[in-house]
Structure 1
Amino acid sequence: MHNPKILSWLSKRAGISEEQAHCLWLRAVRRAELYFDETERATPAYWQFALRELRTALDQIGRQHQWHHDVPAHVPQWLTEVAEWQANYLMNSMLIWRNVTLASSRAWANAWQQSRAA
Structure 2
Amino acid sequence: MKNNMSAPKILPWIARKAGISDELALKLWRRAVSEAEHLTGHDSGAEYYGLAVERFLAIVEDEVGGTPAYRLDPAPRISWMWHHQTRMSLLSLMAAQNAYRYWQTTWENMNPAKKAA
Separation in 2 of the partners of 1:63 and 1:37? 29
Partner of 2:70: 69
Aligned counterpart for 1:27 among listed residues 24, 27, 31: 31
Structure 1: 4+ residue segments shifted above 3 A: none
Partner of 1:60: 62
In percent, how many aligned pairs have the same letter? 31
Q: CA contact under 8 A between 2:11 and 2:26: conserved in structure 1?
A: yes
Separation in 1 of the partners of 2:20 and 2:41? 31
State TM-score, norm by structure 1. 0.52
Higher helix residue share: 1
- Secondary structure of 2:66 counterpart: helix
Q: Does 1:12 align with 2:16?
A: yes
Aligned residues: 67
1:2: Cα distance to partner?
Answer: 1.0
Runs of 5+ unmatched residues, structure 1: 71-118
Q: CA contact under 8 A between 2:40 and 2:47: conserved in structure 1?
A: no
State TM-score, norm by structure 2. 0.52
Partner of 1:101: none
Separation in 1 of the partners of 2:17 and 2:28? 14
Partner of 1:37: 41
Aligned counterpart for 1:46 among listed residues 48, 56, 59: 48
Separation in 2 of the partners of 1:50 and 1:24? 10
Structure number with greater Rg is: 2
